[in-house]
Chains A and B, each alone.
Chain A
């Protein structure tokens, strides 16, 4: 396993050319080239949906490519599954851990290939010896007898990388590894990545944080709309160039049409003053008015999502005040938020938090309105079917089975329309949506935007939490940028500049506040 210059594994050279991939007839990756070699950190930069993750999933064997060649160390590689990719030394470190939290650090390092002694029993002394050797080689200090579940997030991430390398990985693909780390932990991780680089490990680093690219990467490859649009040594790129490459300039005209500049924005529906939740968000003032679509834009972890949860009664605020219409105070539960405040909530993960799987489309559409539809406890199936009839045209819900089709069998976009329709049926006066078009195809996305705009025009107030810049500029009347729990900027949609928004969301509060 050990090679001449003290590294765990052989250097590798990867050259992928012309990678293409379509989903359901729509091409999402249009022939992309990726090249990286041992001792190099290549940053993949791009907005959500730009094709970064599709590209790495092809390399990792999770997706089958429609076209393209992958050459590793001069020979064409036949990667069809994650197992194949592993055999070539390619490993992706995802944000979710793949370790066994109830086992020790040492056992995790030998997981799946525990050494056995001559009696066929586990050779525990060798397990520990191997663990110490691997950690020493990588210059990591971790208590090998500790249960992995008791480690911190950063330590587990480092362990995850160590496990990959112990399993003879030569190319590590890190998927936004710092999203859950503190500043100090990020520093430690970067120091570790530097050491790996010196040992000849090839690294592909996926991120949308510009400062990280400058700090850690040698080369950068920028994705936009399924194309690699810029590439070169980081030293040749300034921040401005990188942002421009990420954002492009094409879509600006289409955006304007969806904005509600002509109509009157009415009275305040949601008013938040000085909202604070310890360690999550601080001193947030916010007002969303009738007919207004307000986007809270920020990176994951900026506090916007948590603020939205507070509005829906899922999180307690420790300070500040909130008012919806004439109802003051904070909702104590989702039930309270729905019934007393008239808030509707489209959660970030519709599969896990939004859909009543197994149940049918009509029931999923009507569930929030059941208290209204019920007389003396009775809720006849005919009543829920009527709700479906009321909405399927407006929302263009496309399914073969009509009202009684199981919601599981709808496509992602149609499922999201159902979750949205649930709150329209309930006649919510304030809609809170978290990443409403994540994992939704382009067509359904446009439909969702149009529905939101139409209902805003009827007087609903809409609050969208999003980290998708495209979404922000397409749909919002007002944009509020958050970073590290604070509001750092407010814009009217008409004077918006994408590059500026991204910079504001990416910078520390202090800098941003100083800047304006």
Chain B
């Protein structure tokens, strides 16, 4: 990475760079540098919220917020293991394809069997998909981005193959998965639970800290006695299992399974994680950041729809916000001289 501190004309040592002079601009710059990245995201979120609230009275209603949560829950569930993987320097690009595959398997099994069998089948296939990714990435030494680019295609192909290219109707069999729990839809509860669990694991467990260590410097981690392969393997398994869960939620929401479900969601997952402050080169990233990233993406989509802006322009706007937010964070890092 670029190690050169930004010289703001005053010269001096790198840590003095943001504090050139004692003017208010310098003070603002210092506050900006000292802020945790999550604060930047919250500011972005609030600004977006204010804009949409101005444009539509419906935006800030409970019902609409519930809609936003419903629309991002699958994204959020997939982004949790994705964040851990990216912190360790790994990718799982196959999650959306795996979710579609698991959904289709659930649909096929549900035709002649109980809902429990369908759920087990979906989670089982998700587990297998994760094991396959994990074995190749962790133990066979193939870069995970390559492995999961392959399975991104492969799992999607299998999903379409099993569903025969058709939508599989589930006739209400798995609808109960997304029933309300104490008045809150189950997928939102799952999103919250999984995010909290992931946050806890990342922050308070040896496993979580090992993930950071591996992403920060794999060689140093190995020389410190951290076992890299099992750690990466476990993350892929979790990612696969949660892809199975995501597939079930999608199938339940639509009461149908399709080989084309969740197309493109894998990149939304990566976008949310990056937005949340993770670095593509590993070692950096947080779960609260990712959750905020997920919310920003969801609110963009929801708000722009309420403002009746065409979906094409929505994509453009989301792209701009993504690059701008990451760019802002880069400026912050550069100013802090690290």
**A contact set with B: CB distance below 8 Å:** 312, 314, 334-335, 338-339, 345, 347, 352-359, 363, 367-368, 370-371, 373-374, 377-381, 406, 408-409, 422
Closest Cβ–Cβ distance, residue B102 to chain A (whole Å): 28
6 contacts between A and B (CB under 8 A): A352-B219, A356-B224, A357-B216, A363-B213, A370-B210, A373-B206
Bound-complex Cα distance A339 to B337 (A): 37
Tell whether B212 is near chain A: CB-to-CB under 8 Å. yes
Bound-complex Cα distance A363 to B204 (A): 12
Assign chain B's interface to a size class: 20 to 34
List, in ascending order, chain B residues with CB within 8 A of A312's CB: 223
Contact A371 B206 (CB under 8 A): yes
With A359-B216, A367-B213 known to touch, is A378 a contact of B204 (CB < 8 Å)? yes
Q: Which of A314, A334, A359, A422 contacts B283 (CB 8 A)?
A: A359
Which of the listed residues B203, B221, B225, B226 has the most CB atoms from chain A within 10 Å of its own CB? Answer: B225
Tell whether B222 is near chain A: CB-to-CB under 8 Å. yes
List, in ascending order, chain A residues with CB within 8 A of B338's CB: 406, 408-409
Contact B221 A356 (CB under 8 A): yes
Residue of A whose beta carbon sits closest to that of B338? A408
Q: Which of B15, B204, B220 contacts A356 (CB 8 A)?
A: B220
Contact B206 A377 (CB under 8 A): yes
Contact A345 B223 (CB under 8 A): yes
Contact B217 A363 (CB under 8 A): no
Residue of B whose beta carbon sits closest to that of A360? B212
Tell whether B162 is near chain A: CB-to-CB under 8 Å. no
List, in ascending order, chain B residues with CB within 8 A of A354's CB: 220, 223
Residue of A whose beta carbon sits closest to that of B201? A377
Bound-complex Cα distance A422 to B223 (A): 11
Tell me the dominant secondary structure on chain B's binding face: helix
Tell whether B207 is near chain A: CB-to-CB under 8 Å. yes
Contact A356 B225 (CB under 8 A): no
**B contact set with A: CB distance below 8 Å:** 15, 203-210, 212-213, 216-217, 219-227, 283-284, 337-338
Bound-complex Cα distance A371 to B224 (A): 11
Additional 15 contacts, C-beta under 8 A, given A335-B222, A357-B217, A379-B206: A334-B225, A338-B225, A345-B223, A352-B219, A353-B223, A356-B213, A356-B217, A356-B220, A358-B212, A358-B216, A359-B212, A363-B212, A374-B206, A379-B204, A379-B208
List, in ascending order, chain A residues with CB within 8 A of B337's CB: 409
Residue of A whose beta carbon sits closest to that of B282? A358
Contact B205 A368 (CB under 8 A): no
List, in ascending order, chain B residues with CB within 8 A of A335's CB: 222, 225-227
List, in ascending order, chain B residues with CB within 8 A of A378's CB: 204-206
Bound-complex Cα distance A377 to B205 (A): 5
Bound-complex Cα distance A31 to B227 (A): 51
Closest Cβ–Cβ distance, residue A389 to chain B (whole Å): 18
Closest Cβ–Cβ distance, residue B268 to chain A (whole Å): 26
Contact A355 B209 (CB under 8 A): no
Which of the listed residues B206, B227, B283, B338 has the most CB atoms from chain A within 10 Å of its own CB? Answer: B206
Q: Which of A347, A358, A370, A409 contacts B209 (CB 8 A)?
A: A370
List, in ascending order, chain A residues with CB within 8 A of B223's CB: 312, 314, 334, 345, 347, 353-354
Q: Which 6 A-B pairs have the closest CB atoms?
A: A358-B283, A338-B225, A374-B206, A356-B216, A367-B224, A379-B206
Q: Which of B206, B222, B284 contacts A370 (CB 8 A)?
A: B206
Bound-complex Cα distance A439 to B337 (A): 21
Which of the listed residues B15, B208, B220, B226 has the most CB atoms from chain A within 10 Å of its own CB? Answer: B220
Q: Which of B204, B207, B226 contacts A367 (CB 8 A)?
A: B226
Bound-complex Cα distance A327 to B32 (A): 54
Contact A334 B222 (CB under 8 A): yes
List, in ascending order, chain A residues with CB within 8 A of B209's CB: 363, 367, 370, 379
Bound-complex Cα distance A93 to B224 (A): 35
Q: Which of B207, B217, B225 contacts A377 (CB 8 A)?
A: B207
Bound-complex Cα distance A354 to B210 (A): 15
List, in ascending order, chain B residues with CB within 8 A of A355's CB: 217, 220
List, in ascending order, chain A residues with CB within 8 A of B15's CB: 409
List, in ascending order, chain B residues with CB within 8 A of A363's CB: 209, 212-213
Closest Cβ–Cβ distance, residue B13 to chain A (whole Å): 10
Bound-complex Cα distance A45 to B217 (A): 36
Bound-complex Cα distance A345 to B220 (A): 10
List, in ascending order, chain B residues with CB within 8 A of A374's CB: 205-206
Bound-complex Cα distance A345 to B203 (A): 27
List, in ascending order, chain B residues with CB within 8 A of A367's CB: 209, 213, 221, 224-226
List, in ascending order, chain B residues with CB within 8 A of A345's CB: 223
Q: Which of B204, B221, B225, B284 contacts A380 (CB 8 A)?
A: B204
Residue of A whose beta carbon sits closest to that of B209? A379
Closest Cβ–Cβ distance, residue B308 to chain A (whole Å): 44
Residue of B whose beta carbon sits closest to that of A422? B224
Bound-complex Cα distance A477 to B243 (A): 60
Bound-complex Cα distance A361 to B220 (A): 14
Closest Cβ–Cβ distance, residue A366 to chain B (whole Å): 9
With A334-B225, A406-B338 known to touch, is A379 a contact of B205 (CB < 8 Å)? yes
Q: Which of A357, A368, A381, A408 contacts B225 (CB 8 A)?
A: A368
Bound-complex Cα distance A395 to B221 (A): 22
Closest Cβ–Cβ distance, residue A453 to chain B (whole Å): 24
Bound-complex Cα distance A312 to B223 (A): 9
List, in ascending order, chain A residues with CB within 8 A of B220's CB: 347, 352-356
Bound-complex Cα distance A357 to B204 (A): 19
Which of the listed residues B223, B227, B284 has the most CB atoms from chain A within 10 Å of its own CB? Answer: B223
Closest Cβ–Cβ distance, residue A409 to chain B (whole Å): 6
Contact B224 A368 (CB under 8 A): yes
Closest Cβ–Cβ distance, residue B309 to chain A (whole Å): 39
List, in ascending order, chain A residues with CB within 8 A of B204's CB: 378-381
Closest Cβ–Cβ distance, residue B88 to chain A (whole Å): 12
Closest Cβ–Cβ distance, residue A115 to chain B (whole Å): 33
Contact B206 A339 (CB under 8 A): no
Residue of B whose beta carbon sits closest to that of A407? B216
Bound-complex Cα distance A374 to B220 (A): 20
